[in-house]
Amino acid sequence: MLRLSKLTADSKFDKYASELSKSFAGKVTNSPIAYSMFLSAQIFAFGPSYEIVIRCEHENEKTKRILNELNTLFVPNKVVLVVPDNKRDEIISVAPFTGNYEKINGSPTIYVCKNYVCSLPTTDIGEMKKLLEK
């Protein structure tokens, strides 16, 4: 629910996650080792979180390199949303905030946001890594 909230910027999913947390609070308190994934979600909930949007023409080699690099980085509080031109309208319908993200010079463009506050877009994988290290 938390990841869905970050991907769609729809706070109703945060409310659902909060209700789940309340429902399981007693069980988690009594046996935290049995709920390690649940506790990981709690860490995600209390942030900070990174929202990474990749605008691209389609999933080409550079887009794949960006995604591969993101997968090698340990950033557990991140969500990644790829918005290719051919799926843009569909993605905007569930994540309207992505309608404002554009490509730079037709190249796959990376928007790194922390708690929905975005840095300037970049097309450089090294710059993306620096933004995620801050």
Tens digits of residue pLDDT in 80-101:
999 999 999 999 999 998 999 9
What CA–CA distance (Å, rounded) separates 9 from 7?
A: 6
Question: Do 122 and 95 lie in a common domain?
Answer: yes
For tokens 């979180």, the residue is 49
| Position 25, amino acid | A
- Residue 35's pLDDT is 84
Question: Do 57 and 77 lie in a common domain?
Answer: yes
Q: How many residues does the chain have?
A: 134
Q: 10 lies in which domain range?
A: 2-46
What CA–CA distance (Å, rounded) separates 102 from 75?
A: 24
Q: Please give the tally of structural domains in the chain.
A: 2
pLDDT band at 6 (very low <50, low <70, confident <90, very high): confident
Q: Examine the pLDDT at 17 and tell me if it is beyond 80.
A: yes
Q: Examine the pLDDT at 79 and tell me if it is beyond 90.
A: yes
Q: Examine the pLDDT at 134 and tell me if it is beyond 90.
A: no
